[in-house]
Structure 1
């Protein structure tokens, strides 16, 4: 079974969840210069997916820049868990607009309290040298078509504490098809406890237009959205902790992302990831997005809480 093969009684998975997450409505600002509201999307856990907040903040910041500059970096902190299916208010402060660069602060509020805060920087771009490091993997990475999708992988396995709702979400509820090398961590850590992994990532179908964003801005928001799903997995892998391990609790703490160049986000991207450190209940992971022909699109770093019972 692949992501394109679905049963007659099941709707095919789509990228519509991502589109809904980054669809913003203008609001009256209460704290800063501009404000938008967005809604966190369904997931089978007690609190909303952190990528909702990252992508929504990116979208809000991008909608505040009208002179053609592109988002090139964002740095944020997750302050509190956000409720699922509830409105989040993103307030944007216009910190600086220069000829070459512009800076925004975005604070996300829910129930009157801040849940996420970030700084986002934008660049006009100018002539200069070009360099991009390759994936430089110690892993043998098959083509994505040769790997099982999440639905096929989970259909052949049982065990752990993963509920049917969680399996359905991992299989088709995240807007993106994700195929792991050396293998997923849903139920068990298979093979060596290595600090490296790679994930092929592609939307289940072509990304839809998002109101208020250009296609390039939507694609950057898509990378910001999907990167949070697996960025801590190389840390979990090296520690031997699958997602279904009883008592495992994880949470994103802070997040940084750099956008280097444009690329075809609707096609397969290789998300190369590495565990950097784990200590005192926290782990740091890094990741890089590459096109199939090894164009380096973006880099991610995130520290997260990793708690075991």
Structure 2
């Protein structure tokens, strides 16, 4: 794959049908390269979403997922997703998806789908602190920000990954957390996100389903950052270890066609930090303020003693 494209995302959610061993349907997918000892958690969420979506007809859209991460996934190795068809009703459908690697369960989620019906509509507004943020085109990309920087545990490999290996351009307000906590140590932040290039078609998914999988994929990269920010912990801090524990996501309304090829605002806040765990929450908005999706995730945050903050 070439740099600064969205190909890693497309590869992550490209599923291969397999013979089910435990439930009704099965697929395999491969976790994508990253410079850490374990695979990126968003791979699992997006792959499970794709597997669940391939088990329903086009009349029902994914509206929520609730996930638990039980074991780390090996990088570059296939994960087997088994889909159980728990319910198919006229208006709603429910699926359970379990991910296995090397014969062991490592991920489980419940996904719910809705056909939709006529009713009132209301969209939550941007929080006050996220109103009037800078134009993302005026903010540095991760590659531009990191170009002349070094330090902490950042290596050439992790620098390249943060710069161009995640399929999406991410621009932080008030600033990134790669090497230092850039900006105020406050319990909230915003991240403008956009794929490096137009999202490709994904076999077995409609464009609307692919877009939902894209939100599920990108949401995990930064959702714990408001907790890290308020604790004064940058990603490259020696001794810092994080891991996704559980994850919930609600898809409120589909973006208009092609919207995910442009900028979305991911407004995030810290909810709690205690006993080596942190809870972050985030909401995706279109540039004109339409609320698309909500995310909540709890993660392990383990920082060795004696580091600087």
* TM-score, L = length of structure 1: 0.96
RMSD of aligned Cα (Å):
1.1
For residue 307 of structure 2, what is the aligned residue in structure 1? Answer: none
2:190·2:268 contact (CA, 8 Å) conserved in 1?
yes
- The correspondence of residues 58-69 of structure 1 with structure 2, limited to 5 A, is 58-66=49-57, 68-69=59-60
SS at 2:75 equivalent: coil
Aligned mates of 2:133, 2:105 — CA distance in 1: 41
Q: Does 1:229 align with 2:224?
A: no
Q: Does 1:266 align with 2:258?
A: no
For residue 211 of structure 1, what is the aligned residue in structure 2? Answer: 203
Per-residue Cα deviation, 1:65-104 (whole angstroms, up to 9, x for no partner): 0252000000000000000000100000000000000000
For residue 301 of structure 2, what is the aligned residue in structure 1? Answer: 306
For residue 29 of structure 1, what is the aligned residue in structure 2? Answer: 20
Aligned counterpart in structure 2 of residue 71 of structure 1, from 46, 53, 62: 62
For residue 238 of structure 1, what is the aligned residue in structure 2? Answer: 230
- The correspondence of residues 125-164 of structure 1 with structure 2, limited to 5 A, is 125-139=116-130, 141-164=133-156
**4+ runs of 1 displaced by more than 3 Å?**
none
Deviation at 1:191, TM superposition (A): 2.7
Q: Does 1:257 align with 2:249?
A: yes
Aligned length: 300
Q: Does 1:18 align with 2:9?
A: yes
Deviation at 1:11, TM superposition (A): 5.0
For residue 278 of structure 2, what is the aligned residue in structure 1? Answer: 283
Per-residue Cα deviation, 1:124-148 (whole angstroms, up to 9, x for no partner): 0001111111111315510100000
2:3·2:165 contact (CA, 8 Å) conserved in 1?
no
SS at 1:52 equivalent: helix
Distance of aligned partners of 1:142 and 1:197 in 2 relative to their CA distance in 1, 3 Å threshold: same
Q: Does 1:178 align with 2:176?
A: no
Aligned counterpart in structure 1 of residue 289 of structure 2, from 275, 283, 294: 294
SS at 1:219 equivalent: helix
2:241·2:302 contact (CA, 8 Å) conserved in 1?
yes
SS at 2:129 equivalent: coil
Distance of aligned partners of 1:53 and 1:191 in 2 relative to their CA distance in 1, 3 Å threshold: same
Aligned mates of 2:52, 2:284 — CA distance in 1: 22
Aligned mates of 1:78, 1:11 — CA distance in 2: 30
Aligned mates of 1:191, 1:133 — CA distance in 2: 26
SS at 2:220 equivalent: helix
2:79·2:101 contact (CA, 8 Å) conserved in 1?
yes
- The correspondence of residues 190-201 of structure 1 with structure 2, limited to 5 A, is 190-201=182-193
Aligned mates of 2:38, 2:231 — CA distance in 1: 24
Deviation at 1:12, TM superposition (A): 4.4
Deviation at 1:190, TM superposition (A): 2.1
Distance of aligned partners of 1:136 and 1:168 in 2 relative to their CA distance in 1, 3 Å threshold: same
Aligned mates of 1:137, 1:256 — CA distance in 2: 24
Deviation at 1:156, TM superposition (A): 2.6
Distance of aligned partners of 1:67 and 1:262 in 2 relative to their CA distance in 1, 3 Å threshold: closer
Between stretches 14-23 and 158-167, larger displacement belongs to 158-167
Deviation at 1:57, TM superposition (A): 0.1
Aligned mates of 1:215, 1:289 — CA distance in 2: 18
